[in-house]
Structure 1
Amino acid sequence: MNSAPGGTLPRPVPPPTPAAETNACDTNATETNAAETNAAETNAAAPTARNDLAAALRDSSSVGLGLFPLGIAFGVLVVHAGLSWWWATAFTALVYAGSLEFLLIGLVVAVAPLAQIALTALLVNFRHVFYALSFPLHRVGGRFGRAYSTFAMTDEAYALTTGRQARSWSGRRIIWLQVLCQFYWVAGATAGALFGALVPARLVGLDFALTALFVVLAVDAYRARRDVPTPALALVCALAARFLFPGQMLLAATALFTAGLLARRALTRHRTPAPKESARA
């Protein structure tokens, strides 16, 4: 037989095996499925954000009915105290501390020292230290989101986000809820300050909106849990603080209520028998 130059014949290239073709098809199918999954997740992100906003709007609607008129009352008080209207917007947007803002009106008008203002803020808002123990901040993502959520952790936001119905809420839903609550407050205060001259200075009952708001929140909490001892304990602590510490009722009532809850939990745990260990085989 004649041989090719070099003494050897070139080896023919084997045709692709069915297994190689199958692997190539599987790889292409996997890449296609991954691309479709990423596209589906991207398309679903916007509706999810809209759903969180719509849900937060529903969750905060009852709170808004109390915050907006209370904000109007605050704005009216600001302009009637002799301050410019923009002070109401600045207080509600930058301080955002509810009852402290009402106290700040008199402190600012009297040009109180910063040390007195700082001490007042500490005493009035010290309850937020206890709020932080159970507020679902771990669900909120991002440094900016957590920073704002901490800043906007008001009584109303805490009451709504720590209930049993809020255990499945996402971080975006919590953020939207807090944004809407602050929007109601800022919008009401700005409107009250702008049109404060049209409102009588001795308008009676407008400041009761805050009390009515917390009554509604308490009723909703009772309907969700049907726990009679907790609201009864809160009422007893409020009455005791009213007569024993009239100058610092809110702080005293919060401290008494917290101590009562801790004592109740300790007694309940002591009375509840420990589960028996299963017998070893």
Structure 2
Amino acid sequence: MLHKKEFLAAFKVSLPIMMGYTVLGFAFGLLVVSFHYPWYLALLMSLFIYAGALQFLSLTFFSSKLGFLDIFITSIFLNIRQSFYGLSVLKKFKNTKTLKHYLIFGLTDETYALLTTLKENPQLKQKYYYFYLTLLNQSYWVMGTLLGTLFGSFIEFNTNGLEFSLTALFVVLSLEQYKANKNVLPFIIGGVASLLAFISVPLNNLLICAIVFALLGMFLFKKGLERNG
């Protein structure tokens, strides 16, 4: 295998993602076939959309027969958070050359959390390490999706509660962030921003407003973040 050292290092750190993505992909595959859509639709979506929550929401789009404009606007608002944190990895991806396009496509919340938590290993070729980390994470999602569609095609299954795996995964990654940086200020800012958004805006605008409040908090406490970081 090319760049075996980078692959093994990426596989080791991606194991928590595997446990979350496989279950969530499984749930997505089950839901697709439960809506009586063809199994390959779920697989194609996980290969070419790979957007987690948006894939689940897309099933509602299909069943509600929303127009393209409604789907477009909803999708933008759901995933606009990635335009904020994606900027912070441009420096990491600067020398990845042709791999950059896939790294940008495959950048999910969980992959971003790993990229920003882990310290760089000078013994690894970073661009291949990033590539394998991104590829493995997507492969877990695709594998879970395929298993879910196959399982759901033959056996009826209650998917209630499976979506909580994503929340649990975020909790684990947040704890890893804290263990790596020992800085509680970002978590305080995030918690206060979420609370302010919750009490001041409708639920359908909660995510984007929480992100805006968090960004404002980061600018206000920039010196404290830099000093503690």
TM-score by length of structure 1 reads 0.73
Counterpart-to-counterpart distance in 1, 2:10 and 2:131 = 9
Counterpart-to-counterpart distance in 2, 1:68 and 1:59 = 15
Counterpart of 2:108?
Answer: 154
Give 1:230's match in structure 2, choosing from 161, 173, 186.
186
Give 2:216's match in structure 1, choosing from 252, 255, 259.
259
**Alignment RMSD, CA only?**
2.0
- 1:61 is the counterpart of 2:15: yes
- 1:121 is the counterpart of 2:59: no
Counterpart of 2:94?
Answer: 138
1:135-169 CA distance string (max 9 Å, x none): 121142x23x1111110111111111122524756
Counterpart-to-counterpart distance in 2, 1:95 and 1:215 = 25
Counterpart-to-counterpart distance in 1, 2:144 and 2:194 = 28
1:222-261 CA distance string (max 9 Å, x none): 1111111111221222222233331122222222112211
- 1:249 is the counterpart of 2:206: yes
Counterpart-to-counterpart distance in 1, 2:28 and 2:199 = 27
User: Deviation above 3 Å: which 4+ runs of structure 1?
Assistant: 166-169, 266-269
Residue 190 (structure 1) shift: 1.4
Contact 1:56/1:173 (8 A) holds in 2: yes
Give 1:176's match in structure 2, choosing from 132, 144, 149.
132
**Which range moved further: 165-174 or 220-229?**
165-174
Q: Alignment partner of 1:67: what SS?
A: helix
Contact 2:14/2:137 (8 A) holds in 1: yes
Contact 1:160/1:166 (8 A) holds in 2: no
- 1:91 is the counterpart of 2:45: yes
Q: Alignment partner of 2:72: what SS?
A: helix
Counterpart-to-counterpart distance in 1, 2:36 and 2:4 = 42
Q: Which ranges in structure 1 are unaligned for 5 or more consecutive residues?
A: 1-45, 273-281
Q: 1:166 to 1:256 in 2, by over 3 A?
A: farther
Q: Alignment partner of 1:82: what SS?
A: coil
Counterpart-to-counterpart distance in 2, 1:166 and 1:87 = 37
Contact 2:117/2:176 (8 A) holds in 1: no
- 1:110 is the counterpart of 2:61: no
Q: Which amino acid aligns with 2:174?
A: A
Name the structure, 1 or 2, with higher relative contact order (CA <8 Å, separation 6+).
2
Q: 1:128 to 1:214 in 2, by over 3 A?
A: same
Counterpart of 1:101?
Answer: 55
Q: Which ranges in structure 2 are unaligned for 5 or more consecutive residues?
A: none
Counterpart of 1:23?
Answer: none
Q: Alignment partner of 2:62: what SS?
A: helix
State the identity as a percent. 31
Q: Which amino acid aligns with 2:70?
A: Q
Residue 220 (structure 1) shift: 0.4
Counterpart-to-counterpart distance in 2, 1:247 and 1:167 = 41
Counterpart-to-counterpart distance in 2, 1:164 and 1:187 = 25
